């Protein structure tokens, strides 16, 4: 089984880590996917001309500012290669997930293909927005 967990700024850390930890302990392949473009950690130009400083890039900050380095970017995710999508909650994380058309499309495509679609905390509001809950026991 292969599961994708989309990750947006403001996610709830304990929900995200618990989802990923439990699934990986069960030997399920989990891919975490950021909504932001992939960037590498390195030196970047500061505000002053020629100034270089270490920038922390390529991470996603949770609602309590714990930073996670995702495995992929949402644009790299092919729903056909996954068996499930799980959405963590957290504020404003679930709002950010629900405002991203790529996430809504991923959820719709996974649901249409009969794959598992799951969410925790505020995450179900994304499922509602994607239109995949109507007529189902949820």
HEC per residue, 74-124: HHHCCHHHCCEEEECCCCCHHHHHHCCHHHHHHHHHHHHCCCEEEECCCCH
- Residue of 39, 84, 121, 133 marked active site: 121
Identify whether 121 is a catalytic site residue.
Answer: yes
* 35 three-class SS: coil
Dist. CA 39–CA 110, nearest whole Å = 27
What residues are annotated to the active site? 121
């Amino acid at each position: 089984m292969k599961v994708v967990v989309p990750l947006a700024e403001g996610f709830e850390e304990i929900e995200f880590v618990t989802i990923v930890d439990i699934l990986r302990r069960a030997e399920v392949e989990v891919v975490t996917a950021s909504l932001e473009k992939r960037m590498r950690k390195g030196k970047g130009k500061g505000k002053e001309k020629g100034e270089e400083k270490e920038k922390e890039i390529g991470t996603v900050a949770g609602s309590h500012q714990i930073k996670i380095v995702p495995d992929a970017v949402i644009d790299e995710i092919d729903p056909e290669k996954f068996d499930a999508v799980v959405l963590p909650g957290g504020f404003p994380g679930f709002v950010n997930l629900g405002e991203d058309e790529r996430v809504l499309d991923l959820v719709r495509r996974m649901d249409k293909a009969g794959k598992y679609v799951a969410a925790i905390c505020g995450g179900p509001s994304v499922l509602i927005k994607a239109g995949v809950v109507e007529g189902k026991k949820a």
